[in-house]
Structure 1
């Protein structure tokens, strides 16, 4: 819809609604009208970069955002003009607000009507790109173009379609450009047109080369053995697809190995297509996981391997200056590091957990879109969760033109009621067909026969600052005791108790600070679990078993489940034997019950094979206990591949346990897996134990504290309204589980003065004895009742190591005084 300058000056156009299309306007004209309307309302600045007052190139600057774009004016109508802004590149309207702003300014200039009526006739010829319905290359002959060149151009370009270069003749363009160059005639070939042609040629060359390299395709033995870990055929197919496409979306179900497919594609690009700089963008909690798997799959362990970008600005600047093959960063660092990333100039960008940028208006999503690279691989198990706009956001990074303009996609596929509210979608199969050239997606059911019976994955997650403080405080206590043992080769019973208390507290801090103070909830594991379940439960029949040694971990997991409306059961030592079959049956038969939360009370004797995913929030250091957990789902009768996911806190005692297997072998059951916190070791058993403690605490590695902003970006609603009470009732201690108030977690409120602390503990002890005499149900957390015999046991919590030390000193002084009397 084109208005002449005089007409627009005489009649003010009707104000268009941005949300409701007029019934008398086609959608294309409505969208063009909106941009014309909006552009003419702006107060941009304009600078003519050429000589001609009308048919020239202009610089348009937004004074608010400080962003500038290049605008080329060739006429009044859409199609022939150009703007370098993102909207013009994707809207397929041939115009944008910047173009309309410039046209409005030019229309008010003297001589505008005559100039536009005369038209644009430069002496030079132009090769340019149009994006009106679809992208296409066009040729416009200049007034000085030699007759012979015009004749050649007439045969190559479709003159009836404004000099269109047919798709099947892109390969002839080089010869034509060479002929023009020899003639001495000026031909202006614009970057967007050349990039479009180069992209098409590169795709053809990659396909030809891949066919030569792997003649048997995904079944080629050279491809299946490309990495240190053999690929399954469907994984080889995904890697080939990503390389052949150049910019691809791998949307396989969770558990099918999207990471290894991306790594395999990376190796192909590195070995055969010259890629030497790879940027991995992922959630903070997965950075070390990517570093570990890049090394494991490829064997790259030196500077040509993968470097995690961490620390302050200065450290990150130094890291980007280093000659690494792969750098791994997180979404939160994209915006502040854009200049560093641009200077390093990655050739391949891998985006993991891409559903986290489904909202294109977030800072991270906008920053990601500004990263330029010839190759890209986007990984997500849930490309579409709630709204069609989420899919658009993710696909735009892969190929901003693939789905076409958002306005047209929504117009064609959204179903609205009379009030304009979206009530559904139509024609989604057409979207799938449109995405097929850039997206590969397989369900587990499609590749079931290729999958292994069981896969184990250790997921390294970072700690928050408060977690690290608690972990370090207890690690320092362990170091002090180890130093004393190394010197004397002897530990008193008091030191042995302090040691096991500190080790247990270190482990608990790895899950969340809530396990120790029951007030705060600083930790990454539970939010990572929530994100994992969001992906897993995209399949309507998927269920998961989640193990933790502590019911307090259940408490914070339950908050996330409730916030998402996910049904669950909680199985622990406080659940009576009569109720246990009911919980198992509900998990098995109720489609709404998706999660089975269990302590190690459920690690034996239960059949949970209707789930195929098992998550260990914390690892039991007795290997037999770990295998007992896994045997609940990986057992005879399981018809689906089983995925085991272990959350490991980076740079902590948990990571140390992984690297020192002897420690797991030497630990007797109960010493760290929830047994009595008061233990007594002696002789060679103590020596073995202390040596293993030394090895483990010395092998914890280094971790990066997740910032408060990064923690908040991953967290979900944990308000009082979002909390659920444990389905099994209040936490009750059990054999094989730490008591709710054990190991000083509830004793942090003791007075700092040791005499007052001693008096307070005494009062608490007397109150506990009084509670034990009550005939009603157990309500005191220090008392446990055997569900079979009904007998009661008293389990007194230990205070913090510091308070315990002071109390021991007071009692020692008191004993000395009494002996003196």
Structure 2
């Protein structure tokens, strides 16, 4: 005999199932809103969630819905079967404006199967207490559900404040009266309950209003207020003051200025406003790994905050970061890759302001990282991005949701309103984007350079600190150890052999090359950060149709790794170096000037003089030259007469390396250059003191080695390209391998392309060599050889590598000098 269940299935007819809806193609017979609601109903009823009634009533109660797969749990309140009647704590319910979600639909489906469900839902929900709740069906609004035990006086007051004809909705213009109403109700003893989302909505609106009034009192002249201009250690330009005040007033804001307008300083200024006037004491900066130390440096520079009152970079392993989050700092700086593993530490620290830098990179992260960012809770937030967002709707949604998850409305609604699709459902464009701009106006500020041109300085210089990778640090440290040993030997003896001087020069050069990429040393791998940061910089810069950039590096191998990034992005370029024949050089300059698709001029120091590249307004130094005069020659290619735009100079400097040390001695180098080239005091560059000063300079430069954090392989992989396949350029011929012994061959001294500047540099080295030769007590000079048998000293001049024309002009100059000496004799 068949069992009861089998018999039941055989004799009863199942009700016809609704046709399954597509999640990607909207049916034509129903509205988009109803389609989205039915999708959630369909999906919710298919789930195997776990349900627990945590209230006291069988139907109109509160429930906990657990998802065994995701390990998530949400509270659901059931008050009816219509959209907007119920509540769920999940993110989808908070933002979808549908008044339902899969969890609510799951609970309703389970309740419908219970005995008495039909009668209970027909009778409706009539509790003795009143409820203040937030409905999100078509928009967010506060509603009041009056209880059966509500006193007549309270009901009468509610009727004056709430719109009974619209389910007890509170008109937005009456939000300010709500606090007085709640106070009056509390005095009557009537039980009035409010859900967390409703209270958060009310508090947020009230705080924004009070903050705006406070800022008007603090800065009565707005962005022109003198107190605002003196907020930081450096003065703010008017548009920067406007941006900082805008962000502080909005509370959660997006600063979308074009690249080069100083978004970082605006965020720091906004943080100072919120700290000094609104009690913010914990600031979390989230940025790419390569920018962490840059943020630390600029917070100290602009705000003057140091130590525990300053900024701490979150580095090291989990245990170290746990200790660092327990320290009471004003600001902590972390990178995107650390968000997911550190969410519990961040939540425990409870930042009050979150600053998100380079937010346009969100689109390149996996969903885990993006979701982790959105799970960080804070009253205030400032998001920075220089990439225009008007034509990238999907990317815009992700960024804005962190600032204000309700600003753009639900994703389905936004895309339906603005996407243009072909017959096959493929997105072919967008429409009505101007309306999005209007919607974002309360939380987003964006200025273009053309709009604030009169406020910009003629030239701005920025040293951009970037971290090294572990592979780079290995090369760098190996050569640093060679330098340390030679310096120690010199400190004991005050003497360096020819071999040690050559080894010292080689090791210092290798340390500098390692700062760009390991490719410059092994020509196989490409571990480094600078080229990827340059590419990211260009992603923002070249959104400006006419923008062009000049990029300098001492080595053509740097060109190789940069070219790989440019070609991957379809960015046109030219490469200018000493191996380019002189007759072909004008064509490269003309193409850069006239071809709108040629955006980048790559150059070695062969292009540091004589070129007019003023159609570019940004110059990037991938590496800094030892000679500050050469640095100024590079900059003079774009910062010159006829330049009609403000000029931005970006110097990439590897953190914790010889490059950072070089910054600390630039003042001495400038005085040294002035003594040699400008007729200033020459004693610092002549005689036996030259070696002493140089060795002391080497000590100062290398003192910073190791004071940075190396990027982990995982962080490096996120933005590092594969090694380029191109070979070394002509200018790399004199480079040596790591730790190589260069006794067999010494590289000639670097000579600038300008023959008269070259003559001055070469002449100074010659004078120094002659001084060493005339004084037996002077330490050895690399150009002086001593015959061990006779004791006679000989002068050996290493010939510099020069283009033929420059060599000819130098020879002519020496000939004139020789004739003058003979005539005097």
What is the TM-score with the length of structure 1 in the denominator? 0.87
- 457 and 662 in structure 1: CA distance in 2 versus 1, 3 angstrom threshold: closer
- Correspondence 1:731 to 2:757: no
- 88 and 478 in structure 1: CA distance in 2 versus 1, 3 angstrom threshold: same
Give the one of 94, 99, 104 matched to 1:94. Answer: 99
Contact 1:542 1:594 in 2 (8 A): yes
Alpha-carbon distance, 1:9 to partner:
7.2
- Correspondence 1:690 to 2:683: no
Residue of structure 2 in register with 1:574 after alignment:
579
Measure the CA separation in 2 of the matches of 1:264 and 1:690: 41
Q: Give the secondary-structure state (helix, strand or coil) at the position aligned to 1:59.
A: strand
Residue of structure 2 in register with 1:640 after alignment:
645
1:409-466 deviation digits (Å, cap 9, x = unpaired): 1011111111111111111101111111100000000000000011101110000001
Contact 1:666 1:689 in 2 (8 A): no
Alignment of 1:473-512 (within 5 A): 473-512=478-517
Contact 2:628 2:666 in 1 (8 A): no
Q: Give the secondary-structure state (helix, strand or coil) at the position aligned to 2:64.
A: strand
Measure the CA separation in 2 of the matches of 1:211 and 1:62: 48
Residue of structure 1 in register with 2:369 after alignment:
364
Alignment of 1:65-464 (within 5 A): 65-358=70-363, 362-384=367-389, 387-464=392-469
1:467-502 deviation digits (Å, cap 9, x = unpaired): 101100000000000000000110000000000000
Q: Give the secondary-structure state (helix, strand or coil) at the position aligned to 2:718.
A: helix
Give the one of 598, 602, 621 matched to 1:597. Answer: 602
Alpha-carbon distance, 1:169 to partner:
1.1
Alpha-carbon distance, 1:384 to partner:
2.5
Q: Give the secondary-structure state (helix, strand or coil) at the position aligned to 1:484.
A: helix
Measure the CA separation in 2 of the matches of 1:360 and 1:36: 31
Residue of structure 2 in register with 1:610 after alignment:
615
Alpha-carbon distance, 1:789 to partner:
7.2
Measure the CA separation in 1 of the matches of 2:446 and 2:521: 43
1:204-244 deviation digits (Å, cap 9, x = unpaired): 11111111111111111111111111001100100110011
Measure the CA separation in 1 of the matches of 2:281 and 2:71: 34
Q: Give the secondary-structure state (helix, strand or coil) at the position aligned to 1:578.
A: helix
1:529-572 deviation digits (Å, cap 9, x = unpaired): 00000010011111100000000000000000000000000000
Contact 1:666 1:688 in 2 (8 A): no
Measure the CA separation in 1 of the matches of 2:801 and 2:640: 33
Measure the CA separation in 2 of the matches of 1:696 and 1:189: 63
Measure the CA separation in 2 of the matches of 1:423 and 1:481: 65
Alpha-carbon distance, 1:100 to partner:
0.8
Alpha-carbon distance, 1:378 to partner:
0.1
Q: Give the secondary-structure state (helix, strand or coil) at the position aligned to 1:328.
A: strand
Alignment of 1:747-786 (within 5 A): none
Structure 2: gaps (5+ residues): 1-12, 677-684, 746-798, 809-825
Measure the CA separation in 1 of the matches of 2:555 and 2:702: 22
Contact 1:547 1:598 in 2 (8 A): yes
Alpha-carbon distance, 1:359 to partner:
5.7
Contact 1:124 1:143 in 2 (8 A): yes
Measure the CA separation in 2 of the matches of 1:86 and 1:296: 39
Measure the CA separation in 1 of the matches of 2:618 and 2:101: 49
Q: Give the secondary-structure state (helix, strand or coil) at the position aligned to 1:459.
A: strand
Alpha-carbon distance, 1:715 to partner:
2.4
- 63 and 355 in structure 1: CA distance in 2 versus 1, 3 angstrom threshold: same
- 65 and 690 in structure 1: CA distance in 2 versus 1, 3 angstrom threshold: same
Measure the CA separation in 2 of the matches of 1:164 and 1:361: 40
Q: Give the secondary-structure state (helix, strand or coil) at the position aligned to 1:22.
A: coil
Alpha-carbon distance, 1:667 to partner:
6.8
Contact 1:279 1:328 in 2 (8 A): yes
Alpha-carbon distance, 1:682 to partner:
7.4
Alignment of 1:672-821 (within 5 A): 683-700=688-705, 702-716=707-721, 718=722, 731-733=729-731, 739-740=732-733, 742-744=735-737, 788=804
Measure the CA separation in 2 of the matches of 1:608 and 1:287: 32
- 129 and 790 in structure 1: CA distance in 2 versus 1, 3 angstrom threshold: closer
Alpha-carbon distance, 1:184 to partner:
1.4
Contact 2:629 2:670 in 1 (8 A): no
Measure the CA separation in 2 of the matches of 1:594 and 1:412: 36
Residue of structure 2 in register with 1:814 after alignment:
none
Q: Give the secondary-structure state (helix, strand or coil) at the position aligned to 1:699.
A: coil
What is the TM-score with the length of structure 2 in the denominator? 0.86
Deviates more, 1:688-697 or 1:549-558: 688-697
Residue of structure 2 in register with 1:30 after alignment:
35
Contact 2:390 2:437 in 1 (8 A): no
Alpha-carbon distance, 1:699 to partner:
3.4
Alpha-carbon distance, 1:302 to partner:
2.4
Q: Please report the RMSD computed on the Cα atoms of aligned residues, expressed in angstroms.
A: 2.3
Residue of structure 2 in register with 1:21 after alignment:
26
- 240 and 662 in structure 1: CA distance in 2 versus 1, 3 angstrom threshold: closer
Measure the CA separation in 1 of the matches of 2:287 and 2:355: 8
Residue of structure 1 in register with 2:811 after alignment:
none
Q: What count of residue pairs does the alignment treat as equivalent?
A: 734
Alpha-carbon distance, 1:662 to partner:
5.0
Structure 1: gaps (5+ residues): 1-7, 672-679, 734-738, 749-753, 763-782, 793-821
Q: Give the secondary-structure state (helix, strand or coil) at the position aligned to 2:582.
A: coil
Alpha-carbon distance, 1:362 to partner:
2.3
Measure the CA separation in 2 of the matches of 1:332 and 1:267: 27
Contact 1:663 1:689 in 2 (8 A): no
Alignment of 1:617-656 (within 5 A): 617-656=622-661
Contact 2:78 2:87 in 1 (8 A): yes
Residue of structure 2 in register with 1:779 after alignment:
none
Alpha-carbon distance, 1:666 to partner:
7.1
Q: Give the secondary-structure state (helix, strand or coil) at the position aligned to 1:169.
A: helix
Q: Give the secondary-structure state (helix, strand or coil) at the position aligned to 2:63.
A: strand
Contact 1:49 1:58 in 2 (8 A): yes
Contact 1:467 1:523 in 2 (8 A): yes
Alpha-carbon distance, 1:43 to partner:
0.7
Residue of structure 2 in register with 1:811 after alignment:
none
Deviates more, 1:567-576 or 1:103-112: 103-112
